[in-house]
Structure 1
């Protein structure tokens, strides 16, 4: 059976594929080992509707207040033809070029449909690169439309902005409403912004490859409010690592045929089916749950419940999972700490030895601390004998 038909059967014959956006592609890069997400996204399954049908609706997303605040901040950054944005770009990434002043070009990117907008963006980038070479002009593209092929299907992506420098370089700009306090911001949020910018960079590189002499730099500019004000400040993001991870994950999506071929015939993620059938279908695809999924995947609550039922150590986080090595369940870890569950023919296990040592040291520390230490640890204290 052709792959396109197989994927259509997986999401439901009458269900149109859900297009991938930059957030979804960035989330794939954040959890590259999850076959469940790779297959569902590759097949264009609406994971929000699927989570609702399974009884575990997605619980993340921005509030209307946060969206309004973000839109207001972005409008301020881009006011006056992007003057403040271009000032920040020149300050952080100007590399000695002339300040933009009043010479910045702001091309009109309006067109019909995403295909038309993508074509208009490619033309604007070509014209901006030529103007940079001939006149040394800056160009500011507001919400351009880029295209990136994912699993044989074009994904249309819309970054906040792309700036063309006087030397012809292209830079992706990400505008976020979370604050940058004393020059630094919340690390998980910055990481998510970098992964999203890396997706845009990959699409921008595909466009640059078709234009002679065009170059998409490996850095992006993150613009955020400074401290607790609404004034913009910026930081440079090095995207080389995120770009490599995202490219590998997208290459994995092109092999979604292998994941689909391993599924039993007749299996479907059509949300019109009974919840029991959907749960069985989802369980047939291996997942790699981690607490980070709660902020990035619509199926996170469903996967967390299944991981808890199985006693998987993945619910404790990726770092704990990595430290425990061959021990994949909480019960196995507790048995190892107590010196149980290791047969006479088992080879030496550093994870088991480390857990036994940790349990012994904990017991010694609690004994030395007395009843106060046991109370802090939530352990029962022996009652004193009453004469």
Structure 2
């Protein structure tokens, strides 16, 4: 299967690794076979969109990246003393203050080696419960649609009771103790992916967790630590974010994803997404994979502008949004909707068709009354 995915990328084209942000976006639209295949095959969708003539303005500026890296380095300075202090205050005030913590070395060869080293460090930290442990940029593995994805959270804290907490460090500010709700929501969805991956690690560790948490207690906490700059300074502030809802939704949606090999098997022979191919061949390759476009894709997928253009050209109702698409039932194109509203097509007993015709009648009546008022003036 890996050979087939390499063929889809093109000769000599390296695979683009999946990250938690991409997985969260993929889980938000599990019906999109196009994104599942391209992400599973490691295709660089940004380069693909560029070649298709529909680039999307994705990614942070170099200034934002530099600022974010500097803030993360400050939070983790002095062996993570400030980060652990924030974790103690926000999540575990009943535990002993983290005067000193273990910082295991997680270096290894390749993502598989780093994931194995992370699992070993978690096992050792849990077995030696009673003190704090900080894992800086651990590597976690999660199977998605039959393909492995390797994820790298900012940090994972192992508490004295042997439980694990995901840490998300963001550069957006926390003003008066609260951050922008939309940005916190995006961070929570991303952290939920890390929680799922940590749960897979916990499931592979033999025996119940040890320590004061008691036998059978869950290792992975569903409250993650969000660390942001305080107000307009560079000082860190932290908040505990409950991601149980996001975790449940993400787990359910990822489970619904069609396996990558099933999607690849249905493709015509010779389909390839190499950036070296002419745009017309790339367009045909992309169109060979079914998509499920929605306006929300504009904020999460590099191919969104291409998919939106094709949906509009086909007269599909999907650009109007998922709620509208759901209300229209079997009417999948704008022409179908207009024909049903004019009484030219559709079953009159269909509630959707009846509602459209009623709406069209009310519109005509409102326009007629407006014209009469204008004429009186």
Please give the range of the TM-score, normalised by the shorter of the 2 chains: 0.7 to 0.9
Q: Give the alignment of 1:266-345 within 5 angstroms.
A: 266-336=270-340, 338-343=341-346
2:47 is aligned to: 49
Report the alpha carbon displacement of residue 355 of structure 1 after superposing the two structures with TM. Answer: 4.0
Report the alpha carbon displacement of residue 260 of structure 1 after superposing the two structures with TM. Answer: 1.8
1:249-270 superposed Cα distances (whole Å, 9 cap, x missing partner): 4445562222122222222222
SS in 1 for 2:240: strand
* Counterparts of 2:174 and 2:337, CA distance in 1: 40
Of 22-31 and 318-327, deviating more is 318-327
1:350 is aligned to: 351
Q: Is the 8 A contact 1:198 1:242 kept in 2?
A: yes
- Going from structure 1 to structure 2, the CA distance change for 1:356 and 1:4 (only over 3 Å counts) comes to same
Note the aligned Cα RMSD (angstroms): 2.9
2:78 is aligned to: 80
* Counterparts of 2:140 and 2:41, CA distance in 1: 21
Report the alpha carbon displacement of residue 294 of structure 1 after superposing the two structures with TM. Answer: 1.8
Report the alpha carbon displacement of residue 95 of structure 1 after superposing the two structures with TM. Answer: 6.2
1:378 is aligned to: none
- Going from structure 1 to structure 2, the CA distance change for 1:355 and 1:191 (only over 3 Å counts) comes to farther
Report the alpha carbon displacement of residue 305 of structure 1 after superposing the two structures with TM. Answer: 0.9
1:290-334 superposed Cα distances (whole Å, 9 cap, x missing partner): 222122211111111111212222222223323333332334444
SS in 2 for 1:235: strand
* Counterparts of 1:359 and 1:181, CA distance in 2: 48
SS in 1 for 2:57: coil
1:188 to 175, 182, 187: 182
- Going from structure 1 to structure 2, the CA distance change for 1:229 and 1:317 (only over 3 Å counts) comes to farther
1:257 and 2:261 aligned: yes
- Going from structure 1 to structure 2, the CA distance change for 1:250 and 1:60 (only over 3 Å counts) comes to same
The TM-score with structure 1 as length reference comes to 0.83
* Counterparts of 1:29 and 1:180, CA distance in 2: 27
- Going from structure 1 to structure 2, the CA distance change for 1:98 and 1:335 (only over 3 Å counts) comes to farther
* Counterparts of 1:83 and 1:350, CA distance in 2: 62
2:213 is aligned to: none
1:7 and 2:5 aligned: yes
2:28 is aligned to: 30
1:126 to 110, 123, 128: 123
SS in 2 for 1:217: coil
1:143 is aligned to: 137
1:377 is aligned to: none
Report the alpha carbon displacement of residue 170 of structure 1 after superposing the two structures with TM. Answer: 0.3
SS in 2 for 1:149: strand
2:16 is aligned to: 18
The TM-score with structure 2 as length reference comes to 0.85
The alignment covers a number of residue pairs equal to 367
1:173 is aligned to: 167
1:60 to 58, 61, 69: 58
For structure 2, list consecutive stretches of 5 or more residues without a partner in the other structure.
210-218
- Going from structure 1 to structure 2, the CA distance change for 1:94 and 1:252 (only over 3 Å counts) comes to same
Report the alpha carbon displacement of residue 19 of structure 1 after superposing the two structures with TM. Answer: 2.5
Report the alpha carbon displacement of residue 335 of structure 1 after superposing the two structures with TM. Answer: 4.4
* Counterparts of 1:231 and 1:64, CA distance in 2: 21
2:215 is aligned to: none
- Going from structure 1 to structure 2, the CA distance change for 1:365 and 1:91 (only over 3 Å counts) comes to farther
* Counterparts of 1:159 and 1:258, CA distance in 2: 30
* Counterparts of 1:139 and 1:283, CA distance in 2: 49
Q: Is the 8 A contact 2:175 2:230 kept in 1?
A: yes
